[in-house]
Amino acid sequence: MKLRIGLDIQHLGRTGKRAGDMGAAPDLDGDGYPDHTEALLTPRIALGALEFLHAAGQDVFLFGDGEYHERHARSDAARLHVHLALHLNAGKGDYGAFFYHPESPKHNGAELARCLSDEWARVAGEILGRPLACRAIRSSASDWTRNAHYTIKGLGRRTTPIGICCEPLFLDNPDHAPLTTGGALHMCGEALGMGILEWARKTHTQGATRGTA
């Protein structure tokens, strides 16, 4: 079956009070200028995922403008199966995180987040030359995951589109620097594509999601 997958380059293209938002921009060397800017790197993840999924015969939709609730509405109107909110983390952690909606059935949100996490852990470990802990995390509007929850709260409550907030690395952790290169980010996108296809294989998408025409 052909999947319909949304790749959402978040921060980029926001309007209103958040116009110009580019996400995390840490200054690691203290020279007064950001070493990385989140919304300039996540498009490379999107490209990696797009190329991989297109080659696999899947339909891919790109999102890069409007407020998040508007993107969620467009994703729902297009009857997508999966919607990835693409981010990069800050806070000097040493893990990758994939957040799913608390109301999503286990075979959807939790399982998809787990498949994405497993594939990225494998690829990131090869790039780093050491294991990277990656987690599938239930988001909530009322705890430390609330920012991640906000990026997907209009998606995947009981059916599709299944929203996942992807935070695969920490921009302000110097040990994650090898993961921020163009090649590594492209590989991250490929890993996310692999995770989606593995989820579809495991859960027999036809029976697990809505809109299987």
The reported pLDDT for the residue numbered 29 is: 77
The reported pLDDT for the residue numbered 113 is: 98
Those residues of the chain that have pLDDT short of 50 are 205-206, 208-213
The reported pLDDT for the residue numbered 167 is: 98
The reported pLDDT for the residue numbered 205 is: 45
167-201 confidence digits (pLDDT tens): 999 999 999 999 999 999 999 999 999 999 999 99
Contacting residues for 53 by C-beta, under 8 A, at least 6 apart: 3, 5, 60, 193, 196, 197
The reported pLDDT for the residue numbered 34 is: 84
The reported pLDDT for the residue numbered 204 is: 67
Q: Residue 66 has which token pair?
A: 């409007």
> What is the chain's length?
213
The reported pLDDT for the residue numbered 157 is: 80
C-alpha to C-alpha distances, 2 to 78, 91, 123, 159, 207, nearest whole angstrom: 14, 37, 25, 17, 14
One-letter identity of residue 162: I
Query: Alpha-carbon distance 194 to 158, whole Å?
Result: 24
C-alpha to C-alpha distances, 179 to 114, 129, 204, nearest whole angstrom: 20, 11, 32
Q: What percent of the chain has pLDDT over 70?
A: 95
The reported pLDDT for the residue numbered 212 is: 37
The reported pLDDT for the residue numbered 78 is: 94
